[in-house]
Amino acid sequence: MAKVLIVDDSPTETYKLTSILEKHGHTVITADTGEIGVRVARKELPDLVLMDIVMPGLNGFQATRQLTKSPETSAIPVIIVTTKDQQTDRVWGLRQGARAYLTKPILEKNLMDVLAEVMA
């Protein structure tokens, strides 16, 4: 199974995502800011990153761009998981290098389907 990094400043959302992922056999590591998420991704080299957008400091768009443009982390797929559901946000997120864009609240089946698709 995959090692998944969750970057989200909401303990509730992190808990929900962790519960779903662990139930399906994945290992979870977490970060609560974009800066920490980028550092953890470089150190741990997870198989996948679930990235929130709205966070203090480095936001999820900026963190996604750093991860997808850096040679050491560019192969790690990033899935944006956010409450921002405007089409412009979706387009911008994908332009930053994200492989998929999901809006909260996340349904377990949707998350697992997208995870499988991105990891394939």
The CATH number given to whatever domain includes residue 28 is 3.40.50.2300
pLDDT attached to residue 100: 97
Question: Binning pLDDT at 50, 70 and 90, where does residue 90 land?
Answer: very high
CA distance 22 to 99: 22
Q: Tell me what the mean pLDDT of segment 52-74 comes to.
A: 97
Q: Report the pLDDT value the prediction gives residue 42, as an integer from 0 to 100.
A: 98
What total number of domains does the chain contain?
1
Residue 114, domain extent: 3-119
pTM of the model: 0.97
Query: What whole-number distance in Å separates Cα of residue 73 and Cα of residue 113?
Result: 23
pLDDT score of 76: 98
Q: Which position has the token pair 């980028």?
A: 38
